[in-house]
Amino acid sequence: MGRGRVELKRIENKINRQVTFSKRRNGLLKKAYELSVLCDAEVALIIFSSRGKLYEFGSAGMTKTLERYQHCNFNPHDNSVERETQSWYQEVSKLRAKFESLQRTQRHLLGEDLGPLSVKELQNLEKQLEGALAQTRQRKTQIMVEQMEELRQKERQLGDMNKQLKIKLQTEGQGLGPLPCSWNPTNASTGNTSFSVHPSQPNPMDCDNETVLQIGYQHYVAGESSVPRTMAGDIVQGWVL
């Protein structure tokens, strides 16, 4: 009758747990020793009991095996960092070379440092400059055409506004009708100021003859004076200011 399968779980009985630990510890140490001898393997085993007691086995010495373990464990990380650093250094070198090449090209386009260039390189540079000049002129022409189109559009808008304002002024002028009195600039230039009066409106210059106080010299001609004759003899020499 075969042995039944033992469930792996913590042994609650303290004495049984200690006995089991001792048996299995010795068996594990024996297996480690057998593995190192039979397979020529470097085996290191470290065991801490529940009470903190240390049990260890090293086929080639625990210190040597631990040093080898640390070297194998941390060296790949160091190698990866070194590889990454080397990769960044190569990338920086490529970018520096590209930057220097762009600087040389810029100086050549500006007409500087043309001495080391060959005839073929100068011809290529000339083609590049001609192509750039043609594109620049094309872009300038396009911008000027767009600006002229905008100006024409603004001109049309202003013309439409001018027509609308003229129509509005004509409409408002017809609604107001003729003015009753207007000033004649021709008479004003000759010193004879006169007003044209509409027939339906009273003449503002017509007024009753009243006593007039005259200051200064004034000559009246008989028959043309607006002062009554009864007062013509009473007018004396004016005051001199």
Report the relative pairing of strands 181-183 and 195-197 from DSSP bridges: antiparallel
The least confident of 122-136, 137-151, 198-212 is 198-212
> Residue range 38-66: average pLDDT?
89
Q: What is the per-residue pLDDT for 177?
A: 55
Q: What is the pLDDT of residues 83-122, one digit of tens each?
A: 777 888 888 889 999 998 898 888 888 888 888 888 888 8
Fold category of 14-60 in CATH: SRF-like (3.40.1810)
Element containing residue 182 per DSSP (H, E): strand 181-183
What is the phi/psi pair of residue 196, to 5°? -95, 130
Q: How far apart are CA 137 and CA 150, in angstroms?
A: 20
Domain boundaries, the chain: 14-60
Q: How far is CA 108 from the centre of its chain?
A: 32
Q: Tell me, what's the pLDDT at 109?
A: 83
Q: Helices 119-176 and 62-109 meet at what angle, rounded to 10?
A: 70
Q: In this structure, what token pair is assigned to residue 8?
A: 């792996």
**Paired tokens of 236:** 């004396």
Span 178-206, average pLDDT: 49
Number of C-beta neighbours around residue 8 at 10 A:
5
In the structure, what pLDDT confidence band is assigned to residue 4 with cuts at 50, 70 and 90? low
Asked whether the beta carbons of 108 and 117 are under 8 A apart, the reply is yes
Residue 167 Cα distances to 52, 81, 154, 155, 170, angstroms: 111, 85, 20, 18, 5
Q: CA 33, CA 38: separation in Å to the nearest integer?
A: 9
Kindly state the DSSP code that residue 231 receives in the 8-state scheme: G
